[in-house]
Amino acid sequence: LPITSAAQTKQTIETHQGQYMRYSKEHRANTHAKIVTAAATHFREKGIEGVGVASLMQTLGLTHGGFYAHFESKECLTEEALNTAFDQTLKRFKDYASQAIPGHKLRRLVDIYLSNEHRNDPGLGCFAAANASEITRQSEKIRQSVSKRLADFLDLIEDLANQDNINVDSRALLSMMTGGLLLSRIMTDDRHASEFLQATSNAINQLIKY
C-alpha cells in the first residue's frame, strides 16, 4: 500500500486570524480518517484487543507516536471506528435491500446478512457480530455507542418491514441474524457453518412470511 507522504499532501493556508498552518486541514483530517477506517476493518477482523496501536499505524506507513496527535486514547479510536463500521455496513445493507421490490426487501437484508460472503469477510461486516462478546466487556461509553448503532439497525429493519408490509419484531430478527452469523463463524468446517446460516435464514423466512 503506497501511502502519500506528509510532504506530498502538505499545503499552506492562512487562517483568518493570521496564524500559520503548514499542513492543510484536509491533510490532518485525511490521516485521521485513514486511521479510523483501517481500525474499523482490523477491529472486525482481529478483535479490538487483537489490534495494537503500533501495528495499526504501521499498516498506514506511520509510526505509533503520531497516534496521540489524533486520538486521546485507544478507546476514543474504538468509538470512532465502531461508528464508521456501522455507517459502512448499515449503508451497504440499506442500499442492497432497497434494490428489492416491496415484499422482498427485508428478506434481502437477511440474505446478505446470513450469506457466506458476510461470514467469510468480517472486516466489512457487522461490527456487533464481529466483536459481540468483546463489546460486552467494554466500557459503558463504548457499549452505549454500540447500543445507539444497534438501535439504528433496528430502525432499518423496521423501515424495511414497513415497506414490505410485514409485521415482525426487529429485536428478535436482529438476535437471530447475529446469533446465526456468530455460530456459523465458530464452526470450523464449511458445511456446518453453512447449515447454521441456512437454518437461521429459513426460520426467519418462516417468521416474516406473514
| Residue 146 interacts with, from DNA, a second copy, none (CB under 5-8 Å by kind) | a second copy
- What are the contacts of 192-195 at 24+ separation with CB within 8 A? 193/116, 193/119, 194/116
Nearer to DNA, 67 or 96 (CB): 67
| % helix, strand, coil for the chain, step of 5 | 70, 0, 25
CA 12 to chain centre: 34
* Residue 181 vs residues 23, 124, 153: alpha-carbon distances, Å: 44, 14, 16
x/- map, 103-132, a second copy, by CB under 8 A: -------------------x-----xxxxx
- Label residue 173 exposed, middle or buried (CB < 10 Å: 0-12, 13-18, 19+): buried
| Residue 117 interacts with, from a second copy, DNA, none (CB under 5-8 Å by kind) | none
Nearer to a second copy, 29 or 172 (CB): 172
Which residues in this chain contact a second copy in the complex, by CB under 8 A? Answer: 46-47, 49-50, 122, 128-137, 140, 143-144, 146-147, 150, 169, 171-180, 182-183, 185-189, 192, 195-196, 199-200, 202-204, 206-207
Which residues in this chain contact DNA in the complex, by CB under 7 A? Answer: 6-7, 10-12, 14, 18-23, 27-28, 31, 49, 51-55, 57, 61-70, 73-75
